[in-house]
Structure 1
């Protein structure tokens, strides 16, 4: 998309059925999109939240260290869940039993810090506190839905080659070429997320595309 406006999210995702979970970073356009789609559940990323505190480390080292310590515990429990290979209801119950009390304590701590009148609004630590406090609901969705990850790092890893190659993408010849490149990059990332080898997929599709009926394109 040419801009980061909400309209592009609407064009890409369309009208999503109630109960759908949208996992994103803290970009405000996703929150606006969620408000316009009744029944859509918006989950947000703890890795991005953690990053906000890291930015403030030089300003409030002790308090930032405490925030990072608490968040680290959430991830420790996620590692235990992976080691135990928990899924479904068992994963949900494990999170509710072990992670929920820690998350509740963390947000209580955040609210206490925000009451400190010595913290100026311009302080990066204050901004980090406000960031997580304003996303309290979306940051807790993973506690109730076992299919929702604690962060969006699995997506970040897939799209990492795109910003790394940004200088190469300048030479797409036209804006239309850049748009098609974006479609192909999205397609390849989606293949990997679904456990499909992109090479096998492209070989199969390109061999059949010329003779496959357009009416059966969904196949």
Structure 2
């Protein structure tokens, strides 16, 4: 029911009567003090006589308020969002440059550092359990490690942005026995070595100089060619 519609209906019923407008605007003057006026419901100011319109306007105002609050919170959250940690380095290591030193927690308890293998050639492989090509190439690394470990060749695997439990499942399933560390934050892989893709393998000679940075998976034949240049 529309409580604000009754004046218009009464005006139409008195069409032709010059006093109809006055009766609508001032019903008490025509009915007298003792004559009850028609039940019109609550009176609303002009333009807001329909309660539904008032309620709708109120909902719009409330919705607009919440929208502005949400935008403010979203903007504040964007400002406060943590940034990816990148260590200040001039550039990514290239052939002929010294390999950046690092120390990371190892999967098998002891820490793994590049310095502990000083004077020995190193094959440094960055991988991740969520990287399909990393799973594909890893058996070739394990085979090459077994074939050349007696010659002093060192293999180090660094799992990037993974939980140690997840990496442990991967290396156990693939039978990896060379040292494996995990870089949970990416400070070494992204900050020091500035990786652009996975897997990436860095070949380091006995003097600690980078001889080759290989981006992408390696098979056994390709891996052996790079190892031959180190030994």
TM-score tier (shorter): under 0.3
**TM-score normalised by structure 1 residue count:** 0.22
Bigger helix fraction: 1
Bigger strand fraction: 2
Q: Which has the larger radius of gyration?
A: 2
